[in-house]
Structure 1
Amino acid sequence: MSANYASNHQTPLLQVKNLQTGFKIDGDYFNAVEGVSFNIQRKQIVGVVGESGCGKSVMSLSIMQLLPAGIGKIRGGEIEFEGEAISKLSDKKMNNIRGKDISMIFQEPMTSLNPVFTIGYQIQEVILNHEKISKKEARNRSISLLKSVGIPRADKIVDEYPHQLSGGMRQRVMIAMAIACQPKLLIADEPTTALDVTVQAQILELLKSIQEANDMSIILITHDLGVVAEICDEVLVMYAGKIVERANVEELFNNPKHPYTDLLMKAIPKMDEDVEKLATIDGLVPSITNMPQVGCRFSNRCPKAMPECMTITPQLGEVAAGHEAACLLYDSSWPSGEKRQKEREGASAV
């Protein structure tokens, strides 16, 4: 992380330092998240984007310490919340933080909600786990929470089961559970996936209003850049377990630096363009068992790749004020700097 970037973002709510998270496969660990570092400021909404399999959800589960036991493991780095190292806390101590100070909206509300318990029971369980209040008070608060997230007939819904609600309503229940104890940090993992466009807009508007009302920070994990543009302040772009670009949302959309981010932007359909075929990115994200150990992990898919990209691992560095990218195009210490790339493009045009 650059010194300028760090100095402009003091006393962060969350600090992730060189995080490495691996999974055990056939007796060996393979990292799904490799050397990830970033800060989350208070009252900030940070989007994390990238294709499926790039490590977004694994990173969030690492923060929450909800990796599958015996298979997933934080293998290195530190996670600090309000200055306290939480990556090595006991289950009991982490349980005091999880749900109260840091909460999470999971990717699929139908599988995240327990089908055999009522909506009210599941919300009350969160409240009673962290606060010493009566069951009656917890029930009344559950009804108030359901109302606050826009669920009609909250006094009746509280006694219904997940299968009786639509996808949009279930997602609102998940949000109510996540904000039940007014957390300081909310992690929303693909909160609008599988919802229709109208409901997506409502959920995003709801998250934004809750964030403003509670002075909460949000990590919004998504593959939808439209969602990021709608509510985020800053964006982290991930590829193959690493952060390849970081900038505020306006800068990233107006001036993407990393070739991967640029291709993601070009793949967004535009209303004012009539094209027969949408832009795509050739190839696939490498699997964790076949991850390149040297060089840029995007090099085999990158239209601007140069020989050095196969053997030199780029580091995340500042390429403009408050804008960082991990790409040799902007690393003047190697022959493949930006000037050389422009020369190559000019030669190929002739």
Structure 2
Amino acid sequence: MLQGKKIILGITGSIAAYKTAVLVRLLVKQGAEVKVIMTTAAKDFVTPLVLSTLSKNDVLSDIANNDSWANHVMLGRWADIMLIAPLSCNTLAKMANGLCDNLLMAVYLSATCPVVVAPAMDEDMWHHTSTKDNLKKLSSFSNHIIPVANGELASGLIGEGRMAEPENIVEWLDHFFLNKLELKGKKILVTAGPTYEALDPVRFIGNHSSGKMGIALAAEMQSRGANVTLVLGPSIITAPENIEVIKVKSASEMYEACISRFDKMDIAVMSAAVADYTPVNIASEKIKKNDDSFTIELTKTKDILKSLGEKKTDKQFLVGFALETNNEKAYALKKLQTKNADMIVLNSLNDIGAGFGHDTNKITIFDRGGKEYNFDTKSKQEVAKDIVNTIIKLLHA
């Protein structure tokens, strides 16, 4: 389950740090890409040279080194998971209180991925009230804690506080990623991008949609184990591998692609910006600029979301998108009802960083009962996670 996973391994000052050489080797052997960050104290127990050799990556320790700078923000966004093993009592206290005095803490506070820790300390330290309070705080921040083992400690005592063995940590990670495949076996249809409605061989009516949001959704669902089919309008964004991509141009082509595949789908997410109208007549040759004015007769396109809503069974889950500029909530709730959708994702062009062309988005989700879920402005990859998490939550409600 670790094949292709990106793992940040944080190592702190504990005698258990000597085990990290074995841990790195096991992670790499399973196909993970490992980047190691060490505190200064950790170097007293295991050398960066050993870890860089085993991980095949430079070991990072300092925020700045001569003329180079370790970009802690990008490191925190790069990983699929951040593992701190061993977690010393000192670093635990820093994490619980948001201190940031080294690169490891800077990456931790910047991390957008799940964080898991494997504590290691002597028994009396482990049972101290402040340690227990700090662990509770860490858990309240949605961090994961691998239980300590009971055994021989560096002090010579026998008791709790021993770091989990590398094999057990790898097994924990395997189970974690396996359980994250909440959509395994699900067939999901996603639409993305704009549609282009031809006027003549060279001109069209379109919109500014880039397809970034829909492609991010398809990628997130695929990472959760789903079998994804992406119906993609004209876009320069490349879809991830292992996703079936059906390229279309017009609203009618997108309609046919969706209608013909919907019956076999468990979930459909209609995030494309489909044209509401299309020209009645398409000129066979380029239209010449002869007159001062030019009139185009338009007709409504087929409503893909509504058509799918009419076909939808009780075993299927349908998601629509609403991009609005005024009376946003009212229009989104009306769309939810009239289209027979199970969930509507609302974008307001009045929100900074939302809508077409941005790398960020700000959404509000409404479920079938009208319950509202609000989210802050985030990258479209993080927004995709919020949308998928909400779908999964509603599926199991």
User: Structure 1-normalised TM-score?
Assistant: 0.28
Greater relative contact order structure (CA < 8 Å, 6+ sep) = 1
